[in-house]
Amino acid sequence: MALSLIRAVVVLASLLVVAPAQAALADAIARMKPSIVVVGTVQKTRSPPFLFRATGFVVGDGLLIATAAHAVPETLQTEPPETMGVLIDVPGASDPQGRVAHAVAVDRVHDVALLRIGGAPLPVVKLGNSDAVRDGTAVAFTGFPLGNALGFNAVTHRGIVSSRPPIALPSPTAKQLDARVIRSVQAGPFRLFQLDATAYPGHSGSPLYDAETGEVVGVVNMGIKATKDAAIGQATGISFAVPIKYLQDLLRGIR
């Protein structure tokens, strides 16, 4: 009887711990979603005119969109004209609202970028301190993992920061040398957040945020997928995010 009572107390205590954590994440997601946008390019003569490239989120004055630098084309077509653009979810509307965007700061070494849009300011996210993030920190990211396959409905995945590995490009051959490679080699290795949740291509540019506080601590940038695990015989995935401090550097540079 005493053992059964102890077990019951342990179960009840665990439920009391889990319930607030789940509620905190649900609240964080609700605050985050109004700041999530679709990033792409627009060409009126194309079918469809809008071409999805990545996820973005609102920062700064409400008219700045943070995203992954690899989502920003090196060049845009001039004939017919092509522009950057974002799609914004408008409550009560059947279709998202489109706004023209243009890049104001791009860091291709750390894979973060800022776009500026016009119109009324949007709700902004709260940026946290990525240097304070530890292994095991519970995190989530919200974005568009399958592009428009789900109708541009933002999807949230959660997990933990499993490691903070340094990343550096291998020594390139002469044929592989370009401006981006040279910048990366010169900058040297920097640390990423390795996640135990799988990010898909459309998640690029998604905010990585603390599951309890909702503070954004990183920008999802890539995943290594389709590698077969010999032990289980199935494909596995490893995903990464760039610490938010590199985006904060961009923000300071344009103010």
Domain membership of residue 51 (yes or no) is no
Using alpha carbons, select from 60, 128, 53 the residue that is nearest to residue 85. Answer: 53
Least confident of 66-70, 84-88, 144-148: 144-148
Q: What is the pLDDT of residue 166?
A: 84
Assigned domain for 239 exists: yes
Does residue 106 lie within any of the structural domains?
A: no
Question: CA 183 → CA 40, 110, 168, 187, distances in Å?
Answer: 25, 10, 11, 6
Which residue has tokens 């902004």? 124
Radius of gyration of the chain (CA): 20
Q: How far apart are CA 21 and CA 9, in angstroms?
A: 19
Longest dimension (CA), the chain: 80
Q: Is residue 86 part of a domain?
A: no
The answer to whether position 213 is within a domain reads: yes
Determine, yes or no, domain membership for 144. Answer: yes
What is the model's pLDDT at position 19? 59
- Mean pLDDT along residues 28-49: 93
pLDDT at 234: 46
pLDDT above 80 for 107: yes
Whole-structure pTM value: 0.81
pLDDT, position 102: 95
Q: How far is CA 114 from CA 35, 122, 220, 231, 242, in A?
A: 14, 15, 14, 41, 14
**CATH number assigned to the domain comprising residue 240:** 2.40.10.10
- Binning pLDDT at 50, 70 and 90, where does residue 236 land? low
Q: 91-99 long-range CB contacts below 8 Å, 24 or more apart?
A: 96/38, 96/152, 98/42, 98/50
Q: What is 51-87 written as a DSSP string?
A: EEEEEEEEETTTTEEEE-GGGS-SS--BTTB-EEEEE
Query: 143 in a domain, yes or no?
Result: yes
**38 pLDDT tier (thresholds 50, 70, 90):** very high
How far, CA to CA in Å, does 235 sit from each of 18, 197, 226, 231?
31, 14, 5, 11
Token readout for 234 is 């199935």
Name the helix (H) or strand (E) containing 182: helix 179-187
Residue pLDDT, tens place only, 68-81: 999 999 888 888 88
pLDDT above 90 covers what percent of the chain? 55
d(CA 28, CA 210) in angstroms, rounded, equals 8
What is the number of domains present in the chain? Answer: 1
> Which pLDDT does position 3 carry in this prediction?
54
Residue 196 lies in a domain: yes
Task: Report the pLDDT value the prediction gives residue 244, as an integer from 0 to 100.
Answer: 97
Residue whose tokens read 């077969």:
228
Q: What is the mean pLDDT of residues 137-162?
A: 89
Dihedral sign, Cα of residue 33, residue 218, residue 221, residue 116: positive
Domain that holds residue 192: 130-245
Asked whether the predicted pLDDT for residue 52 surpasses 90, the reply is yes
pLDDT tens digit sequence for 181-223: 445 545 567 889 999 988 888 899 999 999 999 999 999 986 5
